[in-house]
Structure 1
């Protein structure tokens, strides 16, 4: 590596796009300003300006692992594309010090007609490697990708998982000085994601600079030395206090989700608290959806789960302190609206990993507490302590009727919310159960 201390230096970086309302406005913009200037008249623009990035400056030192977070449209991917040189800035400068390997989007840089093996050599040559250097790395790349005989098939026949396996294998196995990963690993299975992060840990130990964009702030907490937060194309935070940055970001995300749902009101807002009809509840069910977590909601709506709040052990809502410590007691507070009598109701809750797979679940019937619901409004608390490992989890809730042994789905909400756990140290698996180690040397020599 160069003796310089920085790997990436950004100064005043901005990117502006021209947005045209109609196709003919693009033609007007191409012709009319030139004609008006030639005639000595003032010009006008036929487009709107959209600043995807505005006046961003920072320096990343060699060997740092930097997480970049922000909502969709915050400018994260635009920033990485300009760092990689695949996008030109409107203003500002980018200075790179080292070989860059980037995984920006699925299959980027692959020729779909080439085989996987041919694309390995193509990508490696783009990264500045000679054929002999690639030959020396080929077995390592193929072993990491683990796609078997498909390596000699055209990549246009690959699944999304096979694409990302091969793409990451090439980028990570060529010993880059700067590795950039933009959410591409999200399409891989959980086993491959774990394998990738272990590879990134090995690269980090070797001194590789890593920039990672991901919506999994758990990964940011686990791997990043520093966190950059983007919002509306601007840099709003740049700190080595990664936990504080993630807490602030998660709090904003949860509050925005709550606002989106709270702003959805039933059409008849004058309903008394104890007078709900099934059509009223159906309207609430159809409109009260958490789109940020891609909620799927269905059921007859004779009774519904209007709200579910998570209260932490110190009495504060999750919105105020959006990180949950492993083993911390939680209260799930449900608000139910009931239009018709439900003689035997079951209210269930479960948690799954963000990548899929339930890790915990329970309901009132299993807990020995049957519910007989009459028309009206109910508040129900579920209290539980979950020793979960650090990571992102989804909360799923469901309300059903078991009258006469026949199950009727009343209101299924999958998922309804998300929740993030953190633990004092890294462990494998889902449960956080640290071992206590005793070590004693034998007295026998």
Structure 2
């Protein structure tokens, strides 16, 4: 397949000075003392993106993501290495980039089109679709400096996507839009994918990367940490970001227990072989995981509350139990045990923990082996496969350390005969009525 973007061994360095006079001293005496420190925003980065591919770039703030996009777009020149781009590029790099503050929105549309290589006649043909997509009304004839950040991004994105580019590059600019406009933008991005165009996006919304990208690139400290399928890269990046991070502050657990249908219970695991003989355990050693290691999830089970039968397929609406067999390595004074359901795109459907149901678990001692049972009614969902993740942490909801988080602890399939489920709806509503009446 033809290559749309090729990046070969690029690096980007900046000279950092402690004080402005230091730069002047170095210019006046180029062979004397060096006053700068070299900062490498990118260091020997290489990859290729094929035509028609959608790629997400993830990484912490300051990791080099935006610098990389600017190099691809030609806004910056690399210190070393080379970038090759095949096709017309339309980039939304920064809020209002390419807009003149004194011009009206309409004037900026024409100027932006000229910067993208379009003639006035070509912009005239696209003007109506640009204005319809931006949907900023009479403000189109007002000075851009009067625009809100949301209006800025509406017009900028509309200009970017309505010039028929071969490659669309978006750098986190959609974070300022309202929910309706974001939805419209993502539909547009999806139409780009279906048309076989190349999409490159930087975002902190890992759900968007999983949903809209075929592959992903994780950049860390100016280097490529990982490149591959979007779900695998996002999973490892999430583990990296969550591992060992503790929020500051402390919030006491609630003493009250709310009225609920979900329950979380902890059982001391004895030595008797019959203790858990009826539970259909599954080993989780094959699943990817991360954590501090203070407790280890050895096995999980997903079964019917009344019959203890293992569940592989269900419709929804059943009373179920998700059990975790946990080996405690270190004392945990405030244990949190949870499970989370994700769909095949990696989107979180729901999560249940002892904190969400107002249940305080007793402290766990090193050397213990316990079973935690999470009982709930499985919701009615659209047909498909779902992944259950299992976790144990220590602390509070706002401040905790993951001890062991297992990503694909269990896989279950929903087969619901309802029309809504067959159509792939995320949630199938119960007790819904539709009536028809004659209009008078």
Indicate whether the TM-score tops 0.5.
yes
For 1:173, the equivalent position in structure 2 comes to 162
Q: Does 1:22 align with 2:19?
A: yes
For 2:133, the equivalent position in structure 1 comes to 144
Long gaps (5+) in structure 1:
38-42, 262-287, 290-296, 305-310, 338-346, 352-358, 391-398, 400-410, 436-445
1:242 Cα deviation (Å)?
Answer: 2.1
For 1:85, the equivalent position in structure 2 comes to 74
For 2:426, the equivalent position in structure 1 comes to 432
1:53 Cα deviation (Å)?
Answer: 0.4
Q: Could you tell me how far apart the structure 2 residues matched to 1:190 and 1:167 are?
A: 17
Q: Could you tell me how far apart the structure 2 residues matched to 1:145 and 1:423 are?
A: 42
Q: Structure 1 pair 15/218, CA: closer, same or farther in 2 (3 Å)?
A: same
**Correspondence for 2:174 among 185, 201, 207:** 185
Q: Deviations for 1:405-441, whole angstroms, at most 9, x for unmatched residues? A: xxxxxx994999999999999x9xx983379xxxxxx
More off after superposition, 242-251 vs 415-424: 415-424
Q: Does 1:242 align with 2:235?
A: no
SS in 2 for 1:237: strand
TM-score by length of 2: 0.63
Q: Could you tell me how far apart the structure 2 residues matched to 1:20 and 1:330 are?
A: 57
Q: Could you tell me how far apart the structure 2 residues matched to 1:419 and 1:147 are?
A: 46
For 1:13, the equivalent position in structure 2 comes to 10
Q: Could you tell me how far apart the structure 1 residues matched to 2:146 and 2:116 are?
A: 24
**Correspondence for 1:132 among 101, 104, 121:** 121
For 2:42, the equivalent position in structure 1 comes to 53
Q: Structure 1 pair 370/219, CA: closer, same or farther in 2 (3 Å)?
A: closer
Query: Which has more helix, going by share of residues?
Result: 1
Q: Structure 1 pair 185/419, CA: closer, same or farther in 2 (3 Å)?
A: farther
1:87 Cα deviation (Å)?
Answer: 0.9
SS in 1 for 2:29: helix
Q: Could you tell me how far apart the structure 2 residues matched to 1:148 and 1:253 are?
A: 41
Q: Deviations for 1:168-190, whole angstroms, at most 9, x for unmatched residues? A: 01101111111100111111122
Q: Deviations for 1:387-409, whole angstroms, at most 9, x for unmatched residues? A: 5899xxxxxxxx9xxxxxxxxxx
Q: Structure 1 pair 434/314, CA: closer, same or farther in 2 (3 Å)?
A: farther
TM-score by length of 1: 0.63
Q: Does 1:66 align with 2:55?
A: yes
SS in 2 for 1:17: strand
Contact between 1:298 and 1:412, CA under 8 Å: does it hold in 2? no
1:365 Cα deviation (Å)?
Answer: 12
Q: Could you tell me how far apart the structure 2 residues matched to 1:199 and 1:61 are?
A: 20
SS in 1 for 2:15: strand
Contact between 2:7 and 2:47, CA under 8 Å: does it hold in 1? yes
Contact between 2:322 and 2:373, CA under 8 Å: does it hold in 1? no
Contact between 1:101 and 1:171, CA under 8 Å: does it hold in 2? yes
Q: Structure 1 pair 123/416, CA: closer, same or farther in 2 (3 Å)?
A: farther
For 2:215, the equivalent position in structure 1 comes to 226
Contact between 1:423 and 1:432, CA under 8 Å: does it hold in 2? no
Q: Deviations for 1:119-162, whole angstroms, at most 9, x for unmatched residues? A: 11111111111111111111111111111111111111111111
For 1:211, the equivalent position in structure 2 comes to 200
Q: Could you tell me how far apart the structure 2 residues matched to 1:103 and 1:69 are?
A: 17
| Equivalent residues in 2 for 1:295-310, closer than 5 Å | none
1:207 Cα deviation (Å)?
Answer: 2.4
Q: Could you tell me how far apart the structure 1 residues matched to 2:236 and 2:351 are?
A: 29
Long gaps (5+) in structure 2:
256-265, 267-281, 292-313, 327-331, 341-348, 366-371, 387-394, 415-420, 430-440
For 1:269, the equivalent position in structure 2 comes to none
Contact between 1:7 and 1:98, CA under 8 Å: does it hold in 2? yes
For 1:198, the equivalent position in structure 2 comes to 187
Q: Deviations for 1:265-307, whole angstroms, at most 9, x for unmatched residues? A: xxxxxxxxxxxxxxxxxxxxxxx42xxxxxxx687x6989xxx
Contact between 2:245 and 2:401, CA under 8 Å: does it hold in 1? no
**Correspondence for 1:156 among 141, 145, 148:** 145
Q: Structure 1 pair 16/363, CA: closer, same or farther in 2 (3 Å)?
A: closer
SS in 1 for 2:224: strand
More off after superposition, 53-62 vs 78-87: 53-62
Contact between 2:289 and 2:407, CA under 8 Å: does it hold in 1? no
Contact between 2:54 and 2:212, CA under 8 Å: does it hold in 1? yes
